[in-house]
């Protein structure tokens, strides 16, 4: 089953098919550039409405005899309407940044698709400035580091989410020191809210909580100091659970609440996406029903400050301490929500890397044991298994469904079933 209002979605999500389309439509036809690799990096899908896809490309530049990375982001709109044409005409009226490989914006009418060449973006502006060493040194960094003489700035793109946010790492040399900063640009002024929350957390943090220091917020860009450490993706360290426990003990009552209705809504969205994609099944329906049923069976736990996106990448270990990064989704809620998200990340990593499930079980148990030793409340094992299943479905399986990755859904579904038994 496909989405009848977005009939070209299957093609748009197929990297092999899109490589030929993007070569023909989005690169200059002089023969100077050859698209050698196409990877789908990001998908945001609203059934029956639109889909935003980011393509990470490897382009061979014949003139310079080098292969370079290039990013294209595409918006797919409803079939047999004029939405994509209107979006393209509107885009052509706004200031656009020239791109070496092809036009800044392309309309592929046959796919009802508008393609933006990075750093051009429908909702994010000024991205080119964050990647310009000269402008960073003379215009942007003086706001983040007032009073310091900026000698050199070396930017590096870290993460780009089309129409939403972009993160750039900047190696900075001043007259007095060297450091690494992160600049995070947002499509809306939610960056100001994030900055205020991080400022409050920074000022009131306990000595055992390590987070990046927020420096400033200007022109929808948040500046942060880099926090040293090794990502748990590269080095698993159960003692790093102490950082999560330290965050959960902070008191930030002004944060939004993660409650039952919001979690159920997320599940409903995933199920609807599965139905539209033709990936629904009796097994998946059982898992959804069990997760929903168990919402009211969990033991009550304190409402704590949650990370909101606790993954292996966002937890750093450094020596005998640990810290947390990417705190954009701070909120209040059940502490098992963070622990479930982390355990789900462990299981998903095991599937992606071909590791035994027994290894993921051992790592999850060690992490939870270290966490439990650092907090005064009890960790009900049955409830944590349910929370982990919830995170697997609402986040990991949800992403696989958006990408029409049936194989990944089938790999993760047995883990959710096992957690619920």
Which H helix or E strand runs over 35?
strand 33-46
For the chain of 421 residues, list the mean pLDDT of each consecutive stretch of 10: 85 96 94 95 92 97 95 95 95 95 97 98 96 97 96 98 98 97 94 96 94 95 95 92 96 93 91 90 94 90 97 92 95 97 97 96 97 97 96 95 92 97 91
Give the residue among 375, 401, 410, 240 at the shortest CA–CA distance from 315.
240
Query: Residue 127 has what pLDDT?
Result: 97
Query: Residue 300 has what pLDDT?
Result: 93
Question: What is d(CA 21, CA 70) in angstroms, rounded to the nearest whole number?
Answer: 15
Which string of DSSP letters, residue by residue, matches 291-319? HHHGGGGSPP---EEE-SS--STTEEEET
Question: What is d(CA 164, CA 161) in angstroms, rounded to the nearest whole number?
Answer: 6
Give Cβ neighbours of residue 335 (< 8 Å, ≥ 6 apart). 248, 301, 302, 304, 306, 375, 377
Based on the number of CB atoms within 10 Å of its own CB, is 265 exposed (0-12), middle (13-18) or buried (19 or more)? exposed
Give Cβ neighbours of residue 343 (< 8 Å, ≥ 6 apart). 364, 367, 368, 384, 387, 388, 391
* Single pTM value for the model: 0.93
Query: Residue 31 has what pLDDT?
Result: 86
Q: Kindly list the strands in the beta sheet with 66-77, ordered across the sheet, starting from the edge strand earlier in the chain.
A: 33-46, 50-61, 66-77, 113-117, 105-108
Query: Residue 301 has what pLDDT?
Result: 96
Question: What is d(CA 126, CA 113) in angstroms, rounded to the nearest whole number?
Answer: 23
Give Cβ neighbours of residue 100 (< 8 Å, ≥ 6 apart). none
């Amino acid at each position: 089953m496909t989405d009848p209002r977005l009939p070209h979605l299957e093609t748009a999500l197929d990297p092999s098919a899109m490589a030929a389309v993007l070569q023909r439509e989005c690169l200059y036809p002089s023969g100077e550039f050859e698209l050698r690799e196409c990877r789908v990096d990001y998908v945001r899908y609203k059934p029956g409405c639109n889909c935003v896809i980011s393509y990470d490309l490897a382009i061979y530049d014949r003139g310079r005899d080098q292969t370079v990375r290039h990013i294209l982001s595409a918006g797919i709109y409803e079939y047999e309407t004029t939405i994509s044409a209107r979006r393209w005409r509107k885009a052509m009226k706004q200031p656009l940044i020239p791109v070496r490989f092809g036009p800044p914006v392309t309309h592929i009418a046959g796919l009802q698709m508008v393609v933006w060449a990075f750093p051009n973006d429908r909702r994010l502006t000024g991205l080119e400035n964050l990647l310009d060493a000269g402008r960073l040194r003379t215009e942007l960094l003086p706001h983040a580091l007032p009073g310091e003489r900026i000698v050199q700035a070396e930017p590096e793109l870290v993460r780009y989410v089309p129409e939403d946010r972009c993160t750039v790492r900047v190696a900075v040399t001043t007259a007095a020191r060297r450091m690494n900063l992160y600049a995070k640009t947002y499509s809306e002024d939610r960056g100001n809210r994030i900055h205020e929350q991080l400022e409050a957390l920074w000022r009131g943090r306990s000595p055992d909580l390590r987070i990046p220091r927020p420096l400033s917020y200007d022109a929808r860009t948040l500046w942060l100091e880099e926090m040293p450490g090794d990502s748990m993706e590269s080095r698993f360290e159960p003692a790093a659970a102490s950082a999560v426990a330290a965050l959960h003990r902070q008191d930030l009552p002004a944060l939004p609440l993660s409650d039952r209705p919001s979690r159920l809504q997320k599940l409903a969205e995933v199920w609807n996406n599965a139905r539209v994609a033709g990936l629904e099944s009796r097994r998946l329906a059982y898992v959804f029903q069990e997760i929903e049923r168990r919402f009211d069976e969990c033991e009550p736990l304190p409402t704590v400050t949650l990370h909101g996106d606790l993954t292996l990448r966002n937890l750093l270990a450094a020596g005998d301490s640990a810290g947390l990064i990417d705190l954009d989704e701070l909120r209040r809620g059940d502490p098992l929500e963070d622990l479930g998200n982390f355990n789900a990340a462990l299981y998903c990593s095991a599937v992606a890397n071909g590791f035994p499930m027994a290894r993921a079980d051992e790592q999850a148990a060690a992490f939870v044991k270290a966490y439990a030793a650092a907090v005064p409340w009890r960790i009900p094992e049955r409830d944590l298994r349910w929370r982990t299943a919830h995170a697997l479905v609402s986040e990991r399986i949800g992403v696989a469904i958006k990408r029409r990755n049936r194989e990944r859904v089938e790999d993760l579904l047995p883990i959710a079933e096992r957690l619920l038994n």
